[in-house]
């Protein structure tokens, strides 16, 4: 059961413009995949005028590679506000 954690830097001055675009992309993804859980988080502190943001995606069946590619396409338009790279991390639950 794969979950995605995608983090990147956004200039604090651009945050008010970037956030609605990312949230809208996430809303479209959830509408297309009703069991998908999409969240947007950020670190509380800023460093050098940058905020660190994290998108989190979970699905009861796991985030497939096909869904991951769809997420990348959906949020891709917001990359104009991102400084540097979007770091995509894939996690799975620990075995009990």
- What percent of the chain lies above the pLDDT cut of 90? 83
Q: Is the pLDDT assigned to residue 78 strictly greater than 80?
A: no
Q: What is the mean pLDDT of the chain?
A: 93
- Mean local confidence (pLDDT), 10-32: 95
pTM over 0.75: yes
In what helix (H) or strand (E) does residue 45 lie, and over which residues does it extend? Answer: none
Identify the CATH assignment for 3-91 out of 3.30.70.100, 3.40.228.10, 3.40.50.10070, 3.30.1540.10: 3.30.70.100
pLDDT at 76 over 90: no
Where are the domains positioned within the chain? 3-91
pLDDT for residue 96 is more than 90: no
**What is the number of H-type helices and E-type strands within the chain?**
2, 4
């Amino acid at each position: 059961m794969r979950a995605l954690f995608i983090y990147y830097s956004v200039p604090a001055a651009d945050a008010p413009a970037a956030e609605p675009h990312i949230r809208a992309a996430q809303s479209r993804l959830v509408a297309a995949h009703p069991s998908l859980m999409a969240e947007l988080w950020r670190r509380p502190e800023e460093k050098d005028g940058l905020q660190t943001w994290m998108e989190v995606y979970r699905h009861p069946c796991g985030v497939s590679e096909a869904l991951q590619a769809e997420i990348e396409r959906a949020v891709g338009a917001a990359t104009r506000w991102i400084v540097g790279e979007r770091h995509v991390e894939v996690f799975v639950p620990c075995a009990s």
